[in-house]
Amino acid sequence: MSDRRHPTAADAARLHADLAAIWANRPGLGALSAVNHGTIGLRFIATGFAFMLVGGLLAMFIRLQLAWPGNTVLDPQRYAELVTMHGTTMMFLFAVPIMEGFALYLIPKMLGARDMPFPRLSAYGYWCYLFGGLLLYASFLFDAVPRGGWFMYVPLSGREFTPDISADFWLLGVTFAEISAVAAAVELVVAIMITRAPGMAIQRMPLFAWYILATSLMIVFGFPPLIVGSILLEIERATGMVFFDPARGGDPLLWQHLFWLFGHPEVYIVFLPAAGVLSTLIPTFARRPMVGYSWVVLAVLGMAFLSFGLWVHHMFTVGIPLLSLGFFSAASMAVAIPTGIQVFAWIATLWSGRPELRVPMLYVLGFFFVFVLGGLTGVMVAFVPFDWQVHDSHFVVAHLHYVLIGGLMFPLFAAFYYWLPLWSGRMSQRSTAGAAFWLIFIGFNLTFLPMHLTGMLGLPRRVYTYSSDLGVDVLNMLSTVGGFLFAFGVGAFMLDLLLGWRHGVRAAQANPWQASTLEWSLPVPPPNYNFAGVPAVASRDPLWDEPRLPKLIAFGERYLGIARDGAREMLGTSPLDGRPEQVIRLSNSSWWPLAAALATAASFIGVLGSFYLLALLALAVAIGCFVGWAWSTGDRRAPDRLEAGGGLRLPTQYAAHNAPGWWGLAVFLCADATAFAALLFGYVYLWLSAEAWPPAGWPPPAAGPALLFAALLVASSAAIGLARASLRRARLFRRWFGAGLGLGLLALALAGWILLDGLPPPTAHAYASVSASVLGFAWLHVALAWLVALFVAERHRRGWVDAGRPLELRVAQVLWNYAVVVAVLAIALLVLFPRVL
Amino acid sequence: MRPLIRFVQHFPLLAAVAAMIVWAIHFLLVYAGVGLACARGYSTTAVLLWLATTTVLALLVALAITLAGFDRARRPETPPHGQRRRFLARLSALLGGLALIAIVLTALPMLLVPPCR
């Protein structure tokens, strides 16, 4: 640049060209190696939308079959399959991924960041999602379509009643998609915590970021119970170990608890991002800041926490004591408080603003009508006696569609219209958009309003036909007609969006909605790198309070208006106050994520088809891909500190305190710890319903080997700690680190021996199965930590890790200590629990 | 108590949501307690005692957090991080209020329904 303090237009143009070259995706098929958040976000959105259409098509068949009694469009098995796939598709392959796509696309832009902090992880997450969905639908090709309902209750989905591999398609396909969700969640938490624009302190974050932060943390804590449950069910089906079969000490309710521990937070995970869209649109269209920012944050965090206390309200009829049901009934009503606070904040903002009925607002108003109705029926079913009347009837179908379609789909459609000008520069017309909206609104209500009545008249869920005696013939026909109307509406919406994209009115200005959030400061369409210059932010509504920002950004102000070394760089800031702390160097396009996802998919397919050799080989390849991926991070030639603009020289992430890798590990360990807790919950739950623990004849695991195992691990931890302390003296470091590795290996061998020899045969009784699972979990984690430590040892040997760049060692040490804690807890449980209780 | 408070204050975001964590722990203790008691056949008195004790303790802690939050939020904003501190204190107080309501609502059934039926 010619003169840093007064960049010229030519300088700005050169900066943009340089950045564009660095951030460009590879051409042609090379685009499959893209990792930047814009591309990945759009892929999530497009794929999610496609799955929505497929799920909708399945719904059309369901409605066709139910149009009149005794219909024969679908036979009972096919009907069960389509109902299962409709629910599974909508919940796992549409609702969560599409909002993840919006989050991946918008969060960096709203936060003033160039990209997400782990671009290759985003890409890996996308491929896992796509392959998981394809795997699930491949079941049609093998005539093994899952048919146990979207929640796959045991014993129906156990080996006895579902002997074919349909349930395994579900378990593996859904687990694959969930890995994607957890990966994205980890990344979004890190992005929101440490990559905000300088000056964007936590109380200045756009509300959408608070919603996504809460949602991501809910995914981190809410998905693992289902992942654990799915793995346990898969193990039970594949090996004959027992967790859910009461004949050998299992309990089918354990599945229900694990599923709904996930399942209830899941619906809030679906709703919150959409509510975040509303909290973004409403202030824009009311042309004033949101009323009660703190109250909205209260509502978001309140909903996030309380939603974890509701899960048994899906199990009100299983025979749990009334007092216990009472807790969940109370909590289910309590969650209406923060939900209501949020709605009142929206109403207050519209009331005290100067709202205008632009196209997105149509869907916002539609949301208010539909979601509030759904919320009211939700409070109705929160009352245990009422729920006992309508459980498993179409009343619940009505409720869930009102809250999900009202709470997710309407805001989603609003979001499409709202951000269309950002991406395409064109806007939709009110006339055509209005027509599509009314078709959708009327069609939806015509479909689902009658179901409140049919449910109360006694029409159960998931039945493939019904008797005329029930008196619901006309209502069902109405629902089917409404369903087709609804489908036409969605088609009209798609057409309208397409027309708007291609032929819509050109937005007269940048920021056509006059919004206040940073994504509207970008050129249209936004370049891959978003911001040529990372702005400094001083308020909650940066574009309203600092109208010069777009110009400053375009001219490379204030930070990182530099293109160097062909490197993709972004700024890292402190979690609470947004003080610039580090320059984060990101990955360029890479094939590792796709390769790793393919290997993971092959491994899952191996398990599915019982080709266990293939599964193991593919797993080894996947691990190899992860090693290659990890090895390619870092740059030995990079300087310790980098010029960051604005007069700052900042460390790179390898030397920074709040490094993305450290944060990513911390958030991931929260998810992992939740999985461990879910497994321990399973152990205690099975103990509670057992007559004797261990069952008659078996001794608890011997204390001696267990104590030795724990001692070896604690010693290994100490050795690793000493190694870290002597990082400046390479010889000493290698000695201590080697000692740690050796002790760890001994511990692994001992644990293997205890697993194989110190416990009763795992298939004999649930006690043995769950004990083996707990110890197996611990073994896997110590093994993983050991592999990571070996990796870091080699990295140190080759000069990638030293006292000045200790990040990888920090990560390895935290992971090691975590694994040790898990393993010690596991062995303590196995040895002490049967003796003490 | 002091070192615990100091530890939590090191993680201001955690401190802000502390009252909801108290609610969660109370909920867990209450639900697990009743589940255990009913499976093992403990007496009604024991169950009610457990419920009452955990509820009172939870309410006291949540109340302390709420009041501390309101108190902190009233202090004048001092740069450089005064705005942020005030916001988080306010959030802590508001979430504290919600937690108090939620704890009371959660415990209310014990006055209405006998355990283990």
Nearest to A150 by CA among A130, A134, A170: A170
Other beta carbons within 10 Å of B8: 15
Other beta carbons within 10 Å of B46: 12
Which residues in A413-482 belong to E strands, given as ranges? 426-427
Per-residue pLDDT band for A487 (boundaries 50, 70, 90) equals very high
Chain B positions touching A216 (Cβ under 8 A) are: none
Shortest Cα–Cα distance, A332 to chain B (Å): 9
Using DSSP's 3-state secondary structure scheme, residue A569 falls into: strand
CB of A817 within 8 A of CB of A789? no
Measure CB to CB from residue A294 to each of B20, B87, B112 and give the nearest one: B87
Query: Which tokens go with A465?
Result: 């036909």
DSSP state of A93: I
Q: List pLDDT tens digits, range A61-114.
A: 999 999 999 999 999 999 999 999 999 999 999 999 999 999 999 999 999 999
Query: Which tokens go with A827?
Result: 């062995």
CA distance A555 to A359: 33
In 3-state terms, chain A is what percent helix, strand and coil (to 5)? Answer: 70, 5, 25
- On whether any CB of chain A is under 8 Å from the CB of B76, the answer is no
DSSP state of A94: I
Q: Give buried/exposed letters for A177-203 (b at 16+ CB in 10 A, else e).
A: bbbbbbbbbbbbbbbbbbbbbbbbbbb
φ, ψ at A112 (rounded to 5°): 80, 25
Shortest Cα–Cα distance, A675 to chain B (Å): 17
- On whether any CB of chain A is under 8 Å from the CB of B115, the answer is yes
Chain A positions touching B108 (Cβ under 8 A) are: 326, 330
What was the ipTM of the complex prediction?
0.95
- Indicate yes or no: CB of A330 within 8 angstroms of CB of B87: no
Q: List pLDDT tens digits, range A370-384.
A: 999 999 999 999 999
Q: Which H or E run includes A136?
A: helix A119-141
Calculate the CA dihedral of residues B95, B100, B101, B104 and round it to 10 degrees. Answer: 150
Measure CB to CB from residue B36 to each of A202, A577, A688 and give the nearest one: A688
Nearest CA in chain B to A304: B20
Q: List pLDDT tens digits, range B23-41.
A: 999 999 999 999 999 988 8
- On whether any CB of chain B is under 8 Å from the CB of A85, the answer is no
φ, ψ at A572 (rounded to 5°): -105, 135
- On whether any CB of chain A is under 8 Å from the CB of B112, the answer is yes
Chain A positions touching B17 (Cβ under 8 A) are: 301, 305
- Indicate yes or no: CB of A330 within 8 angstroms of CB of B106: yes
Q: Tokens 């009142």: give the residue.
A: A344
Average pLDDT for chain A: 94
Nearest to A215 by CA among A205, A204, A225, A223: A223
CA distance A575 to A657: 11
- pLDDT of B10 strictly over 80: no
CB of A258 within 8 A of CB of A250? no
Helices A394-404 and A430-456, interaxial angle, to 10°? 160
- Indicate yes or no: CB of B91 within 8 angstroms of CB of A321: no
Query: Which tokens go with A380?
Result: 């109705």
CB of A767 within 8 A of CB of A694? yes
CB of B88 within 8 A of CB of B15? yes
Q: List pLDDT tens digits, range A268-288.
A: 999 999 999 999 999 999 999
- Indicate yes or no: CB of A576 within 8 angstroms of CB of B12: yes
State the best of A217, A251, A307, A324 to mutate against chain B, taking most chain B CBs within 10 Å: A324
CA distance A651 to A54: 48
- Indicate yes or no: CB of B84 within 8 angstroms of CB of A202: yes
Question: pLDDT at position B41, please?
Answer: 87
- On whether any CB of chain B is under 8 Å from the CB of A323, the answer is yes
Query: Which tokens go with B45?
Result: 């008195």
- On whether any CB of chain B is under 8 Å from the CB of A708, the answer is no
Sign of CA dihedral A728, A730, A732, A737: positive
Measure CB to CB from residue B117 to each of A308, A322, A338 and give the nearest one: A322
Question: pLDDT at position A171, please?
Answer: 96
**Which residues have CB under 8 Å from A292's CB, separation 6+?**
A341, A345, A348
In 3-state terms, chain B is what percent helix, strand and coil (to 5)? Answer: 85, 0, 15
Question: pLDDT at position B6, please?
Answer: 64
First-to-last C-alpha distance (Å) of chain B: 39
Per-residue pLDDT band for A767 (boundaries 50, 70, 90) equals very high
What is the amino acid identity at position A652? T
- Indicate yes or no: CB of A295 within 8 angstroms of CB of B27: no
Question: pLDDT at position A471, please?
Answer: 94
Measure CB to CB from residue B115 to each of A297, A321, A333 and give the nearest one: A321
Q: Tokens 């975590």: give the residue.
A: A818
Residues facing residue A569 across a β-bridge: A585
Give the residue-averaged pLDDT of A610-635: 93
Q: List pLDDT tens digits, range A536-588.
A: 999 999 999 999 999 999 998 889 998 988 899 999 999 999 999 999 999 99
- Indicate yes or no: CB of A323 within 8 angstroms of CB of B34: yes
State the best of B91, B92, B110 to mutate against chain A, taking most chain A CBs within 10 Å: B91
Shortest Cα–Cα distance, A152 to chain B (Å): 25
Q: List pLDDT tens digits, range A430-471.
A: 888 999 999 999 999 999 999 999 999 999 999 999 999 999
Q: List pLDDT tens digits, range A133-164.
A: 999 999 999 999 999 999 999 999 999 999 99
Q: Give buried/exposed letters for A787-806 (b at 16+ CB in 10 A, else e).
A: ebbbbbbebbeeebbeeebb
Cis (ω within 30 of 0) for the bond into A558?
yes
First-to-last C-alpha distance (Å) of chain A: 73
φ, ψ at A74 (rounded to 5°): -125, 135
- On whether any CB of chain B is under 8 Å from the CB of A327, the answer is yes
Nearest CA in chain B to A202: B84
Q: Which of residues 331-390 of A touch B (CB under 8 A)?
A: 331, 333-334, 337-338
- Indicate yes or no: CB of A305 within 8 angstroms of CB of B91: no
Q: Tokens 């009352």: give the residue.
A: A383
- On whether any CB of chain A is under 8 Å from the CB of B2, the answer is no
CA distance A274 to A415: 9
CA distance A727 to A736: 10
Nearest to A470 by CA among A454, A451, A449, A446: A454
Shortest Cα–Cα distance, B2 to chain A (Å): 23
- Indicate yes or no: CB of B113 within 8 angstroms of CB of A295: no
Chain B positions touching A689 (Cβ under 8 A) are: 39
Average pLDDT for chain B: 90
Sign of CA dihedral A516, A522, A524, A526: negative
- Indicate yes or no: CB of A331 within 8 angstroms of CB of B17: no
State the best of A253, A327, A663, A687 to mutate against chain B, taking most chain B CBs within 10 Å: A327
Query: Which tokens go with B102?
Result: 């939620």
Helices A660-688 and A766-797, interaxial angle, to 10°? 170
Q: What is the separation of C-alpha B17 from the centre of its chain, rounded to a whole number of angstroms?
A: 10
Nearest to A557 by CA among A198, A202, A182: A198
Chain A positions touching B27 (Cβ under 8 A) are: 309, 327, 331
Sign of CA dihedral A403, A407, A413, A416: negative
Q: Which H or E run includes A200?
A: none
CA distance A117 to A663: 10
Among the residue ranges A1-5, A397-401, A657-661, A785-789, the one predicted with the least confidence is: A1-5
Question: pLDDT at position B9, please?
Answer: 65
**Which residues have CB under 8 Å from A440's CB, separation 6+?**
A366, A413, A486, A489, A490, A492, A493
Choose the most confident range, by mean pLDDT, from A109-113, A755-759, B40-44, B77-81: A109-113
- pLDDT of A507 strictly over 90: no
pTM, two decimal places? 0.96
Q: Which H or E run includes A506?
A: strand A505-506
Q: Which H or E run includes A501?
A: helix A473-503
Shortest Cα–Cα distance, B1 to chain A (Å): 25
Is the pLDDT higher at A140 or at A802?
A140
CA distance A302 to A218: 12
Using DSSP's 3-state secondary structure scheme, residue A559 falls into: strand
The angle formed by the CA atoms of residues A781, A784 and A789, to the nearest 5 degrees, is 125
Residues facing residue A152 across a β-bridge: none
CB of A43 within 8 A of CB of A451? no
Q: Which of residues 292-311 of A touch B (CB under 8 A)?
A: 294-295, 297-298, 301-302, 305-306, 308-309
Q: Tokens 């108003």: give the residue.
A: A365
